[in-house]
Chains A and B, each alone.
Chain A
Amino acid sequence: MGQSFTHSKGSVFRNRLSRRSFLKKSSFGTLSGVLASAELIPVEKAHLNTEAQRDEAIPCAVIGFGEWGREISKAIHELKDTELSVVCDHFPLMLRRVQRDFPTAKTEADYRNVLMDDSIKAVFVATPTHLHREIVIAALKAGKHVYCEAPLAHTIEDARAIAVAAKQAKGQIFQAGLLNRTEPQYRSVFGFVRSGALGKANMTRSQWHFKDSWRRTSSSGARTEELNWRLDDSVSLGLIGEIGIQQLDTCMWMNGQLPKSVSGFGSVSFWRDGRAVPDTVQAVIEFPNGENQLFDATLVSGFDAAYDLYFGSDSTIILRDNKAWMFKEVDAPQLGWEVYARKDRFYKETGIALLANATKLDSLGTDPTADDPNAKAPIWHAIKSFADNLNFGTLESIVNYQMAYEATVVAIKANEAIRSGSKIDFLPEWFSIDG
């Protein structure tokens, strides 16, 4: 399996004319067209023939087996394009959990040994945010293709160092974990928004509500401290940085602009256990086109969970649980297709279901609130995108280092605004990875 590849820095499996090479050559033109136009029209990419693929699955390593590292590992394990070869964590208990969840994967305590393993082609970094820099840069230097969780880092300096290293690593894939950009329903809504379905877009409202102390524990005191990095004021980007970055990035993507300023507020309103990191935050992200975003997140109330609302003069679109509905204004023009689309009641409103695969006739009868048998978690789509790029490319990532860096900068500054209760104007040079 993994041993059948010989690693060669900066190249993608060039020592063997495999099926992957064949696909790459034969499909390059088609796929590059898809990727080039990705900002305009989201296109569902062709999936590879799934059989007879295990022998060429991409050998992958996951570094950091916390709750999210476990989800990444699960998706890699499920995908036929990828093989979960190694999982690395320096805490022995986590490696025992790896052995139980994924008996065929090897375990490793030191990430440097993973990077020295030539059979490993792709590395997924899911450590705490402040530990990304060292590992990502080392992985890129070792010639690995890298998937790095978002945010890239907890400081602009670290984020910039990662982005520069990714830019310099020619021929290597660098993809960041901004999940909505690779999620089919979000990509479909992106097409609606960009085609003017909202009329004059005017604002976005995003929320993330979950009742949880956000605290972690372990029988070991030192380990408990390590696990609670999200509540450590010196390294944590708080709710808006660690969670909200996904929704901030989506708004930047839909708007097609970088924000002008951010104003924030935050408080420890319920979990008064000595923490300084707020359990409830609000922020307004101002955009040059006036289509500002209101964001709030809380660990105090789980009411109404998480969603994004994109408002406009003709309609409003809600995205939640990777499903979407459109609510039209009474005076909005007919679009034509909505007559045939499924409608759902939301209190006094009627939502028109927006299905990512609506062009398929059979999907018109599908209840958008029901489970889609083909539904996959957003992380599955992110890794599928990464694997497709490796199989067909190497091309520029759908979520590249520049996008990840920009989102990280916004998250860092939004957290600063929340912590200081102030407004911060973005300086253009902050968004440049050259400084």
Chain B
Amino acid sequence: MNTHALILPILIPFVAALLQMAGQRPAFQRTVGLLAAVLLVLVTAWLTRLADDGVLRVYALGDWPAPFGIVLVVDRLAAGMTLLTAILAFAALLYASAGFDERGQHFHPLFQLQVVGLCGAFLTGDLFNLFVFFEVMLLASYTLLAHGGGLARTRAGISYVVLNLVGSALFLIALGLLYGTLGTLNLADLAHRLTLPGHDPALARLACALLVAVFVLKAGLLPLSFWLPHTYTAAGAPVAALFAIMTKVGIVALLRLQCVALAPALPDLLDRWLTTLALATVVFAGLGILAASRLRALGAWLVLLSAGTLLLTPAQASPRVDAAALFYLVQSTVATAAFFLLAGVIAEQRGAAGDHFRAGPPPAAWLKVAFLIAAITVAGLPPFSGFLGKLMLLSTLREAPAGTAIWVVLLTAGFIVMIALARDGCLLIWRNGTFAEATRPIAGGGRKAAATLLLVAGGPLLAVVARPLADYSARAAHQLHAPGGYVDAVLGRRPANLGDEVAR
């Protein structure tokens, strides 16, 4: 049972998508989707507990041994990321099933396929398989982005699709170069062969650099991040909440590539440029946060800010920094997703004024409190988890080569976020004296409120369980940085009698 359980995070949403395509009735699709989401949360939570014993579990698809077949690798990082995906997917689906899913066709199967892509991208140990899961994720995201219609979504969709298609072309070129020079696409085998002589080092370096470029495109590093704000602004609230984890796919892939393959063989590939560009991304996001004219746009810029902050870490190649980064990743993903759901509910209550920062009918009291909590979390003020994440990251980054610059930029960005949120919060919540228009009720309010409050409560809750979560992040980072651990676990699984089979 345990051996095959590793593929469940991919199978559960996939089977759900198939069922939903077979039975088209909305009520049936909702029930299947929500059941699958709950099941996924339970399974990934169990997997995370299982992975916490420190054993790197490898699942060979079709039982083909590692360098020849495709493997899924479950370690603490992969299991934890699937759990985060599952929780986010559950909240977003709960919100969407209050009516958003009926604004277009095929919302539910596409949503589940996006979860398939996300979980697969976190779990796979093969670079071509990573490409395939990226494409599954992207194809679903293209259609989810356009869900609900409207010119803004179509237009955002076009640039998003074109950019990602070019990114996919780059990904394939990198894979072709890697296969041509090293003769393998299995990440562990690749890391192993990179350290051996007998290949063209310049070509291998170029291929790895292209791969890094693709990952930072997904993550939204500065010269490649102009697509992000308007795409996330245009997406519907539950879709944007699920998208909050998509930039993290690029960051986690980069982190894994760096730790497994780059650190032993090409340790200087990320030096110099990545930290500088990440700082520039943080500055860019800070300016965007000041300029945002509506709550959704603010959320989009906050996603970029969190991506920029996280991209400071891979170049440091230190388990302590990565431990802090993983904690920051979890809390910032939940906080930004909460922001998108909040924006959706507030926009619905304020009617014509929407989520624009201008005078309008006041939102309900619970929304005001929820906004306050979410704002404090995302601005990194005590006592919630945003503060802890930022504190850990700052205290570990102090020893980095560019430590002073990082401190100045991150603290300034935090200050900017605080000012912007204070200003925008006042405009949204208090500037309403002259308005006669009444606050509108929320359609399907119970589910939307539950989903929003679930994610907003993430701020205080993650602060309460900060110690276990930070310890888990530290263990995950150490496992990630264990030299050769990944390679040995994946390649060492080869059965002893393999030589005989080949000889036969």
**Do A and B truly interact?**
no
